[in-house]
Structures are given as C-alpha cells and as structure tokens.
Structure 1
C-alpha cells in the first residue's frame, strides 16, 4: 500500500534505448582511455 507507479511514455523508453545503443557504439569505436597509473610529481622518473 502507498506505492506510486510512474507512467513512462513509450517515446521516453525508446529515447533511453537509443541513447544506450549510441553510447555502446561510440565506446566500441572510441574506447574510454583509462590510464593504469598517473605518475606523481615527487617520484623519480627515467628520462631518455
């Protein structure tokens, strides 16, 4: 008792589905760059 059921229009569901699909395609073309570890300023680094 007391539950609120929200009506979600079909167009809103379709919009969310299309956005999710577009993000998946974009990520497959341009994978997110996740650096393993950023060097710290106080660490010694090897310079060539």
Structure 2
C-alpha cells in the first residue's frame, strides 16, 4: 500500500519549535512534580 505524506508548512514547524522551547523554559523554572511513591516494607509514609 502507498504511504500518506502530510505537508507541513514552515509556520506550523516554527509554531511547534516555539512551543517546545517555551515548554523547556517553563520546565526549567517550574520542574514537573515527582509522583509520590508507595512506602516500602518497614517505611512509614511522610506527611507534608
């Protein structure tokens, strides 16, 4: 079967690049939250 090739305009590529760059800056300022892990045997869960 033939493949479908999608045309992506320069403006769309630039928009995606700017979004990636902005997200990287945001993540450097506000690091993503680390999910809480379940306590292991013998450990108590710490309360914040």
Provide TM-score, normalisation by structure 1: 0.68
- Give 4+ residue runs of structure 1 displaced > 3 Å after superposition: none
Which structure carries more relative contact order (alpha carbon 8 Å, separation 6+)?
2
The 1-side partners of 2:3 and 2:20 are apart by 28
Provide TM-score, normalisation by structure 2: 0.68
Larger Rg: 1
Kindly tell me the number of residue pairs found equivalent between the two proteins. Answer: 42
Unaligned stretches of 5+ in structure 1? none
Unaligned stretches of 5+ in structure 2? none
- Tell me how large the CA RMSD over aligned residues is: 2.5
